[in-house]
Structure 1
Amino acid sequence: MDSAALPSLIPLLDGVDRWGELLPLLPVLVSLELILSADNAIALAAIARSQKDPERERQALNLGIAMAFVLRIGLILMAQWVLAFRPIQLLASAYLLWLVYQHLHEKWLGGGIELQDQGADDSADGSFLRTVMALAFTDLAFSIDSVAAAVAISDQLILVVTGALIGVIALRFTSGLFVRWLAIFPRLETAGFLAVAFVGIKLLVTLIWLGLRVPEWFTLATVIVLLIWGFSEKSFPTAEET
């Protein structure tokens, strides 16, 4: 979820077609992006953390989110076609729900399924590339949910692209924080994937019931409750884990 997904912002930004009108709103947009990208950021942090090396995690986040920005721009340029082509939204929903299944299967059923460790013979470079691609496409799946509102905010492409840039910068910042927090708060990763499940189910439901719109307060409340639960238990990692 990001700030473009909130209909209450559209009246605020409607008609903002010049930089002088946009600049006073940037602090608001940045703050909202930092708060509302939490569900996306936890999922990306969990994917990056599978590299089990801080330097490779940072590199994966940098490359994956840079690729995500390019994909967001492509999504904005093709917004009308994407929104009219329901199978793409269905694929985004299925991908998010698959990520949740994969996490729960590994955590609670011991299935040993991992996005990046699919075999002992896999090379480190192959694992790193899969991580980068997973980061980019996970963000793209999240972006499907808000691209319509982002385009509705302004008919000026440069301003819409600026909003996307703010979003990915905020996402990189919050993802980096969550990589560290996942080692401290054991429930946080599961809370993040439950938020991913919520986004995936919401996409699926809106595809089945055309015209249905989930209230923004319900979306915000759900994410906040999950985050509170995620931060409710704290552990103290050893030097090897940090």
Structure 2
Amino acid sequence: MDVTTLPSISDWFDGVDQWREVLALLPVLVVLELVLSADNAVALAAIARRCRGQERERVALNTGIALALALRIGLILVAQWVLQNPVVQLLAATYLLWLFIDHLRSQSPDQETSDDASAEDSAPASLARVIFLLAFTDLAFSIDSVAAAVAISDQFLLVITGAVIGIVALRFTSALFIRWIAMYPRLETAGFLAVGFVSLRLFIHVLRPELHQPDWFTLVVVTALFSWGLSRRQLISAPGSDHAG
């Protein structure tokens, strides 16, 4: 989801700066990370599955998420500059749009065959590419959760703590979605449709900030997409469905 999803939360905690009060916000920040990262987790799971092997998936997730954590902390430290710089937000929106379009292209039989051959012929290069894709995909998604977290509190240590806990949870959520993608054939497409929707909302937020995007509409759309994604389960487990955990 994007930065416009939960603006009302900022009002609830406006002016809360005392540590004993701010520490009480840590569960809120963690939940915020998890709620805003559902589509992120599906995208990361789909990217990790390109490794075509349980062990490589695990290595890619562990390394990619570690790199993503470093990038998130850097984003938090320069959050105010990023949020005031529409070019950065446009780049993030463009990247998410590219992910969505790339997923659509990969659905063609010829492209899937090409991807499989590439993964088998050059596994080390593929692993490095997957790691960087995981890290920068999380960075693009992080603009919304970091924006919401910084709006709740200006205590950077607290925000970073919430981000660390959130990204550790994201690691295990992504591993769960790897298994679910194998079980639910629609889930990957639903996740990338959510990615495309997030990209569109971010474009609108940057280019037409005067247009009001209702919070409930985003929640309804994303909930509907994931409900559709989980609506059909494969009766027979596909080979290789035992993935990273």
Question: TM-score w.r.t. structure 1 length?
Answer: 0.87
- Residue 181 of structure 1 and its aligned partner are, at CA, apart by 0.4
Q: State the partner residue of 2:81.
A: 81
Q: State the partner residue of 1:129.
A: 128
Give the Cα–Cα distance (whole angstroms) in 2 for the partners of residues 127 and 118 of structure 1.
Answer: 11
Query: Which segments of 5 or more consecutive residues in structure 2 lack a partner in the other structure?
Result: none
- Residue 150 of structure 1 and its aligned partner are, at CA, apart by 2.0
- After superposition, residues 161-180 of structure 1 pair within 5 angstroms as 161-180=160-179
More divergent stretch after superposition (57-66 vs 224-233) = 57-66
More divergent stretch after superposition (212-221 vs 225-234) = 212-221
- Residue 63 of structure 1 and its aligned partner are, at CA, apart by 1.1
Q: State the partner residue of 1:228.
A: 227
Residue 157 (structure 1) aligned with residue 177 (structure 2):
no
Give the Cα–Cα distance (whole angstroms) in 2 for the partners of residues 73 and 114 of structure 1.
Answer: 38
- Residue 87 of structure 1 and its aligned partner are, at CA, apart by 2.0
Q: State the partner residue of 2:202.
A: 203
By relative contact order (CA 8 Å, sep 6+), the higher-ranking structure is 2
Residue type matched to 1:229 in 2? W
More divergent stretch after superposition (10-19 vs 214-223) = 10-19
- Residue 23 of structure 1 and its aligned partner are, at CA, apart by 4.6
More divergent stretch after superposition (126-135 vs 53-62) = 53-62
- After superposition, residues 46-85 of structure 1 pair within 5 angstroms as 46-85=46-85
Q: State the partner residue of 2:43.
A: 43
Question: TM-score w.r.t. structure 2 length?
Answer: 0.86
More divergent stretch after superposition (10-19 vs 192-201) = 10-19
Give the Cα–Cα distance (whole angstroms) in 1 for the partners of residues 63 and 230 of structure 2.
Answer: 28
Is the Cα–Cα contact under 8 Å of residues 7 and 149 in structure 1 kept in the other structure? yes
- Residue 149 of structure 1 and its aligned partner are, at CA, apart by 2.6
Q: Which structure shows the bigger proportion of residues in helix conformation? A: 2
Q: State the partner residue of 2:95.
A: 95
For the aligned residue pairs, the C-alpha RMSD in angstroms reads 2.7
- Residue 146 of structure 1 and its aligned partner are, at CA, apart by 3.6
Is the Cα–Cα contact under 8 Å of residues 102 and 113 in structure 1 kept in the other structure? no
Cα separation, partners in 2 of 1:117 and 1:59, compared to 1, 3 Å: same
User: What SS is found at the alignment partner of 2:211?
Assistant: coil
Give the Cα–Cα distance (whole angstroms) in 1 for the partners of residues 119 and 168 of structure 2.
Answer: 34
Cα separation, partners in 2 of 1:31 and 1:210, compared to 1, 3 Å: closer
Q: CA offsets, 1:199-230, max 9 Å, x none?
A: 11111111220343422221111111001000
More divergent stretch after superposition (65-74 vs 27-36) = 27-36
More divergent stretch after superposition (31-40 vs 65-74) = 31-40
More divergent stretch after superposition (202-211 vs 120-129) = 120-129
- Residue 78 of structure 1 and its aligned partner are, at CA, apart by 1.3
Is the Cα–Cα contact under 8 Å of residues 17 and 154 in structure 1 kept in the other structure? yes
Query: Which segments of 5 or more consecutive residues in structure 1 lack a partner in the other structure?
Result: none
